[in-house]
Structure 1
């Protein structure tokens, strides 16, 4: 069976407005390849467990588009889009005008286990994260050069993920072993 990762499917209060924001951030073609939006089933009440990491030429440009700063770190800035969805921006002078997604992050209390499970599903290579544990996926089918980072967190899942990855496959499950729901596109 061939399984490929497709775009992230994002719950949105206003799918058209959120798509327009991300079109301005990434460019329309890149956004359509990486993000799709659907009407939300419930309002956002907690931090997203899935988010993108972007290379950006200038964080100020994102603020001008309506993003807001959540927290500044030494090497990156955590921002929220116009609906409060978190993402991380890493400033790179060579990034150009449009931002570029380079990673997708998924929170987990057992990231090594989840990375190993997904690596087998999408044919990815597992490599170590910054702490030396094997929890970053490279060359996932469908995502090419995007890194899928499984990030260690201790917080409990209280609602379904607002940002879900999609699979271009016909498989019998839509939830992984740690309760992350995903979309299936046959």
Structure 2
């Protein structure tokens, strides 16, 4: 039995409504709640939810977590408010969102109904951390022999996989994108190797944790 299941996605932003409108257009989600501090995007299921949270810190370093998306053309994402970063090196297009965070666009014909393709994560040891998340989610790991990346299918999620790719630089700041999970017991996650960063209190009902490579995620205990 898995220790947790995927719940939803969270993105930090200095201007939450503006960044939420960008991602709503790119991902084909609806802006359901729109205020300066917390904006919610919704889709066909609860797991399509994306929370855009206001934070004071602007983007200062390359994001260790980014979104890969499907689009008919990179121009569609540029017209939504993105800026080009690298349109030539890879078979995908690397852009910056309106606040400077990286994202990758995979041009498709036809375009899948689910516009979110994968969640990419920088890693010191892709196979190790992918195996950890696969164990937590009750999934499996696939290794790409060409580049050493490791992907984990995410059961029930409205995207295909977490994809962990090796980078030389260490994690230095809080991730601006993270995911939430549902669990029967936070102790299951801690027992597997997660570290508690914040316990539930008067302000939050969830537990903030870090995986073995320090990636933040939030766990909600199922009633």
User: What is the TM-score when the length of structure 1 is the normalising length?
Assistant: 0.89
**Per-residue deviation, 1:42:** 2.1
Gaps of 5+ in 2: 32-40, 43-47, 188-195, 197-208
Q: How does 1:85-104 map to 2 (within 5 A)?
A: 85-95=101-111, 100-104=115-119
> Are the structure 2 counterparts of residues 101 and 150 from structure 1 closer, same or farther at C-alpha, using a change threshold of 3 Å?
same
Corresponding residue of 1:154? 168
**Per-residue deviation, 1:35:** 2.2
> Are the structure 2 counterparts of residues 45 and 81 from structure 1 closer, same or farther at C-alpha, using a change threshold of 3 Å?
same
Corresponding residue of 1:168? 182
- Structure 1 CA distance for aligned equivalents of residues 145 and 85 of structure 2: 23
Structure exhibiting the larger radius of gyration computed from Cα positions:
2
- Structure 2 CA distance for aligned equivalents of residues 130 and 37 of structure 1: 35
- Greater shift, 31-40 or 54-63, is seen at 31-40
Q: Deviations over 1:102-153 (max 9, x none)?
A: 1111100111110011110011111112527472112x23326511100111
- Structure 1 CA distance for aligned equivalents of residues 114 and 6 of structure 2: 21
Corresponding residue of 1:14? 15
CA contact (8 A) 2:114 2:158 kept: no
Corresponding residue of 1:128? 143
Q: How does 1:56-67 map to 2 (within 5 A)?
A: 56-67=71-82
CA contact (8 A) 2:122 2:165 kept: yes
Corresponding residue of 2:37? none
- Greater shift, 5-14 or 126-135, is seen at 126-135
Q: How many pairs were matched up?
A: 184
Corresponding residue of 2:132? 117
Are 1:27 and 2:62 matched, yes or no?
no
SS at match of 1:165: strand
SS at match of 1:70: strand
* Greater relative contact order structure (CA < 8 Å, 6+ sep): 1
- Structure 1 CA distance for aligned equivalents of residues 8 and 96 of structure 2: 20
The structure 1 segments of at least 4 consecutive aligned residues displaced by more than 3 Å after TM superposition are none
CA contact (8 A) 1:56 1:95 kept: yes
Q: CA RMSD in A?
A: 2.2
